[in-house]
Structure 1
Amino acid sequence: MALYRIKQFYWAITSEINLQDREFLKQYLNKNELLLFYKLVVYDQKHSIKTAQDVKEICFKNNICNDNLIKAALLHDVGKIINGLNLFEKSIIVILDKVFKDKIRKYENLKLVDSYYNHGEKGYHILKEHGYDERFLYLVKNHHNNDIIGDKELNILKQCDSNN
Structure 2
Amino acid sequence: MIQRIRQFFLAITAHITATDKKWLAENLPPAAQELFYAMHPADQYHALHVARTALELWEKQPAGDKSLLLRSALLHDVGKQQGDMDVFGKVWAVLLKHFLPELAKKLARKGTGYLGHIMYISYNHAQIGADKLKRIGMVQEAEIIRYHHALEQKNEPPELKLLRAADELN
Q: Normalising by the residue count of structure 1, what TM-score does the alignment of the two structures yield?
A: 0.90
Identity %: 30
Aligned runs of 1:1-164 on 2, under 5 Å? 2-64=1-63, 65-81=65-81, 84-101=84-101, 104-108=104-108, 109=110, 110-133=116-139, 135-151=140-156, 152-164=158-170
Q: What are the superposed Cα offsets for residues 8-56 of structure 1, whole Å, 9 maximum, x if unpaired?
A: 1110000000123123212311222212211111100000010011111
- Which stretch shifts more, 78-87 or 147-156? 147-156
Q: 1:147 to 1:123 in 2, by over 3 A?
A: same
The letter for the 2-side match of 1:4 is Q
| Amino acid paired to 1:114 | Y
**Cα distance change on mapping 1:16 and 1:101 into 2, 3 Å:** same
Q: Distance in 2 between matches of 1:69 and 1:147?
A: 17
**Residues 87-129 of structure 1: CA distance to partner in whole angstroms, max 9, x if unpaired?**
1111011111122346622322221210100000101111111
SS of the residue 2:151 aligns to: coil
**Structure 1 residues 161 and 102, CA, compared in 2 at 3 Å: closer, same or farther?**
farther
**In structure 2, distance between residues paired with 1:102 and 1:130:** 35
Structure 1 gap ranges (5+)? none
The runs of 5 or more residues in structure 2 that have no matched partner are: 111-115
Q: Following the alignment from structure 2 to structure 1, what is the Cα–Cα distance between the partners of residues 154 and 84?
A: 28
CA contact (8 A) 1:77 1:120 kept: yes
| Aligned residues of 1:76 and 1:123 also touching (Cα < 8 A) | yes
Change in CA separation of 1:24 and 1:82 when aligned onto 2, cut-off 3 Å:
closer
C-alpha contact (below 8 Å) 1:17/1:46 kept by paired residues: yes
Distance change (3 Å), C-alpha of 1:48 and 1:149: farther
- TM-score using structure 2 length: 0.87
